[in-house]
Amino acid sequence: MPAPIVEARAGANIALVKYWGKRDARLNLPAAGSISITLSGLETRTRLHELQDDAETDELLVNGEQLPVGRVSAVLDLIRNLAGGGPFFRVDSDNNFPTGAGLASSASGFAALVMAADQALDLGLSKSRLSELARRGSGSAARSVFGGFVEMRLGSIDDGSDAVAEPLANAEHWPLKVVVAITATEPKSVSSTDGMNRTMQSSPYYPAWVATVAADLDQARRAISERNFELLADVSEFSALKMHASALAARPGLLYWNPATLACMHAVRELRAAGCGVFFTVDAGPQVKAICLPDSCSRVAESLAEIPGVARVLICDLGPGAEVVN
């Protein structure tokens, strides 16, 4: 493989106010805003290699395995168009997430990709534009462009140019910790994209979900600015459970939890009742993410690790946004 022309990294992010549903599939516009934290421990590193002139398409390697270029090539096309053309690339991407951890890599993957492509084609796009481009790959990826606490804006312009993420506060503002309890290592049954589409099409609770996100965003924004952990715990668990309630009411219902997922959620609530600074969130899969105040982190990690069905726990800090590293 020729030497890469550029390398970029981006951290995974975890939504505290969830994104679940789209108002436009082609531009991948969310039906509501969302708020997340970007992590430092779980990241994607993406190297771009320029292919020869006779190449007819991009190539994608993830952790050394060749995968279909689909959405990756579509996002690269958007960036090549902005540059007035450009070469095909071999995209060589590595996730440092433990194999089979079942953690979403599309957010960090697309954030690293747009960062690298911007540099490779010498575009110098703003972070806001990069967030918009990352959104075209995956809605949650728009948020991984930024570090710390991040809000994805709903936006109102038809072309999607204001449906972008923006930073609320950096990681140092409130150095929370995240304990990820891995409760299953097989690939998830229904992807986020398919799960949210099914919820939109068939769940009677979907309109109620969309109608109530704005109030959650207000509460989460206030909790973050005031560093009010109880307020953030309340709105984050509410948003996660409400997202799952809307998905459970789809047809057929989306049941992302296993017994260990539920046991972890109960354990987190018991720890909190006993004075520990912790709350949970769960995405479109069975892993539980326990967001902790720093002094509660080791107790939470030890407790979750002991639960039958928990294969392992990972401990992460909040981290920076996507960046070019080479």
Give the integer Cα–Cα distance in Å for 131 and 164. Answer: 6
Sole binder of ligand DP6 in the list 4, 28, 131, 319 (CB under 6 A): 28
Question: What mask of x and - would describe binding to ligand DP6 in positions 47 to 86, judged by CB under 6 A?
Answer: ----------------------------------------
Cα distances (angstroms) measured from residue 61 to each of 31, 152, 319: 31, 28, 25
Closest by CA position to 289, among listed 102, 112, 99, 9 = 102
**Which positions from 185 through 204 interact with ligand DP6, judged by CB under 6 A?**
192-193
Span from 134-142, 205-213, 229-237, 259-267 in contact with ligand DP6 (CB under 6 A): 134-142
Q: Does 256 bind ligand DP6 (CB under 6 A)?
A: no
Quick one: which segment of 44-52, 87-95, 135-143, 182-190 binds ligand DP6 (CB under 6 A)?
135-143
**Which CB, 119 or 246, lies closer to ligand DP6?**
246
- Would you state the structure tokens that stand for residue 176, as one six-digit string? 């929370």
- Among 106, 131, 183, 287, the residue binding ligand DP6 under the rule CB under 6 A is 106
Alpha-helical runs (H) found in the chain: 70-82, 106-120, 127-137, 141-144, 192-202, 206-226, 229-248, 259-273, 297-305
The DSSP secondary-structure symbol of 51 reads P
Q: Which of 176, 285, 272, 159 is nearest to 223 (CA)?
A: 176
Query: What's the closest the beta carbon of residue 110 comes to ligand DP6, in angstroms?
Result: 8
Instruction: Provide, rounded to whole angstroms, the least separation between the CB of residue 34 and ligand DP6.
Output: 5
96 sits near ligand DP6 (criterion: CB under 6 A): no
- Residue 38 makes contact with ligand DP6 by CB under 6 A: no
Q: Is 138 in the site for ligand DP6 (CB under 6 A)?
A: yes
* Tokens found for residue 62: 């993830």
Among the listed residues 185, 188, 79, the one whose alpha carbon sits nearest the alpha carbon of residue 136: 79
What is the residue whose two structure tokens read 């779980």?
42
Closest CA to 168 of 16, 291, 270, 47: 16
Nearer to ligand DP6, 49 or 242 (CB): 242
Q: Does 140 bind ligand DP6 (CB under 6 A)?
A: yes
- How far is Cα 181 from Cα 164, in angstroms, rounded to an integer? 30
Q: Using the rule CB under 6 A, give the single segment among 52-60, 138-146, 202-210, 213-221 that binds ligand DP6.
A: 138-146
Beta carbon nearer to ligand DP6, 192 or 236:
192
Q: Which residues bind ligand DP6 (CB under 6 A)?
A: 15, 18-20, 28, 34, 104, 106, 138-140, 192-193, 283-284
